[in-house]
Amino acid sequence: MSVVARTRSAVSPLRRPFFAYPVRRPTVDQVVAADRPEEPVHCLRPTVIADTASDFVQAFPGDVLYAVKCNPDPGVLRALHDGGVRHFDCASLPEIRLVRDMFPDAAIHFMHPIKARGAIREAWDRHDVRDFVLDSADELAKIRTEIAATGIPGALGLIVRIALPKGGAKLDLSGKFGACFDDAVDLLRAARGCAATLGVSFHVGSQCLDPLAWRDAIALTGQVIRVAGVAVDVIDVGGGFPVAYPDQDPPPLGAFFAEIESSFDALGLPGVRLWAEPGRALVAAGTSVVVQVQARRGDALYVNDGVYGSLADAGALGFRYPVRLIRPDAEAAADTTAFSLFGPTCDSADVMRGPFLLPADVAEGDWIEVGQLGAYGACLRTAFNGFDRARIVEVGDNPMGDTPVYQAESQQAA
């Protein structure tokens, strides 16, 4: 008997065909009142995403590459495209295929520093990807070998990612990728001879609240370029641009852009192009998730989504999200209580300490809207314990960051 190998894709229903449009309702409250959902509901706000993207694209002094890993939902990608995003930072072949299928004319950049050989070949040969990031001599050799094997000519772009010292971002990214100073110098020299476009990139870490982190990273980039003694075409300042959460109040994005632009100008590199790879800053406010309370025990609420679903970052990483109670048939108490949340699985690690401020009389059967989940919410869902079902709807109301409930919570947290 022959055995056929099978492959398994992510089970999240948010991995839907890009041509499929979800149900639309005017507001989240109307979703709850009409459907009384007993499973999590992802509430997508395409207009918010498009407007946020448009503002970022217009304000940033260079090319904006959306980091697809942050949220690859087709509705999100479509809204970003509507907002003017034409460049996409992809880290895998599935991301590349999705973007190319949706946007045949988009510029796709393969920004994972370590790639499978077959992924390099397919990206170059079938999807017209021409820019590849690297942080080692082995990866440079791999890219050159696999592209040559395709026999397809093209203008190769190589971006050398440099390592940064550990910083103060919410999620430090200094340990996994990036070439040290001397190795970066050698890579730039080696890549210059075969690259039509040569660049340097870095990443200050996710949810970085300090604009000066980019100043320091750009200064280090300039030192690497000067020592290498080669001309570069691109400086990629990566992602990490922050958004507001109840316990995190970053400066406005303009402060980050001003620091980037002034630091870049100080390098004195005319003709060099700036890139950025925002993810969270473009999409966080564009999705919220509605969960239902299944039980209350003191100041702990048991809800139907958790760290194995959309609330992964609220677990070990301790992210606090804005929350509000939705109770279609009655008023909620005016006073609030700090709650922790337990997810639906039988794993005791499925806990989100918060604290999450909600009306003191919250009870079983109530619904809670959790905001700022457009970033890394939908895409981190798993099928653990069988809790893999969720719906997606499009809504037209404002994101939770614009509501008095969120503002009051932010003030109390401060």
Q: Which domains does the chain have, with CATH numbers?
A: 23-44+284-413 (2.40.37.10), 46-283 (3.20.20.10)
Out of 36-50, 72-86, 158-172, 284-298, pick the least confident. Answer: 158-172
pLDDT at 15: 52
Residue 9 has pLDDT above 60, yes or no: no
d(CA 362, CA 155): 60
Is 343 in a helix, a strand, or coil? coil
Residue 340 has pLDDT above 70, yes or no: yes
Handedness of CA 292, 295, 298, 300 (dihedral sign): negative
Pick the more confident residue, 386 or 357: 357
In the 3-class helix/strand/coil scheme, how is 12-76 assigned residue by residue? CCCCCCCCCCCEEECCHHHHHHHHCCCCCEEEECHHHHHHHHHHHHHHCCCEEEEEHHHCCCHHH
Percentage of the residues of the chain whose pLDDT score is greater than 90:
79
Sequence-distant (≥ 6) Cβ neighbours of residue 17 within 8 angstroms: 74
Longest dimension (CA), the chain: 70
pLDDT at 410: 36
Cα Rg of the chain, angstroms: 22
d(CA 308, CA 297): 21
Short-list 280, 188, 165, 167, CA closest to 235: 188
Is 78 in a helix, a strand, or coil? helix
- Please answer whether residues 239 and 203 qualify as being in contact, where contact means their C-beta atoms are separated by less than 8 angstroms: yes
pLDDT at 401: 58
pLDDT digits (tens, 9 = 90+) for 204-213: 988 999 999 9
pLDDT at 16: 54
Active site residue 379: no
Q: How confident is the model at residue 21 (pLDDT cuts 50, 70, 90)?
A: low
pLDDT at 215: 96
Average pLDDT, the chain: 90
Residue 408 has pLDDT above 60, yes or no: no
Catalytic residue among 90, 194, 208, 346: 346
d(CA 239, CA 204): 7
pLDDT digits (tens, 9 = 90+) for 56-84: 999 999 999 999 999 999 999 999 999 99
